[in-house]
Amino acid sequence: VFIRDKKEKVKLKIENLVDDIKNLGAEYDARLLERADEFFSSKIKNCKNKEEIKSALDDGNIAQFNFCSMEKDGVSCAGFIEKELSARVMGIRADKNEKPKGKCPFCGKEAKVVAYAGKSY
């Protein structure tokens, strides 16, 4: 049995067909996940101020920025993002331990987290 992969033709033996197809599926899934991660990473724009955040969001990207707080004291800043920029704060990344440097671009308080905002279409 032959299966044409994107890069090459793969010859499979009938007796190993089930395992080989599972392995090919796992390889395909891994490539697909890698491409999705690359695409996602390319859409994240590091922003330093309101103008950069607005520009990133208007261009369909995800804005990454220092943010005062993900707690109650950050509600007014999140409200600004929702009302003035027509976006929403998505949160922080669970897969990275990012340390903020500087102040929140909305209220000027010392940043406690690195947050992400995006628009839903």
pLDDT of residue 16: 80
* pLDDT tens string 1-31: 555 555 566 666 788 888 888 988 999 999 9
Does 112 have pLDDT greater than 60? yes
Integer angstrom CA distances of residue 107 from 8, 55, 68, 79, 80: 56, 19, 8, 12, 10
* pLDDT tens string 72-111: 999 999 999 999 999 999 999 999 999 999 999 999 999 9
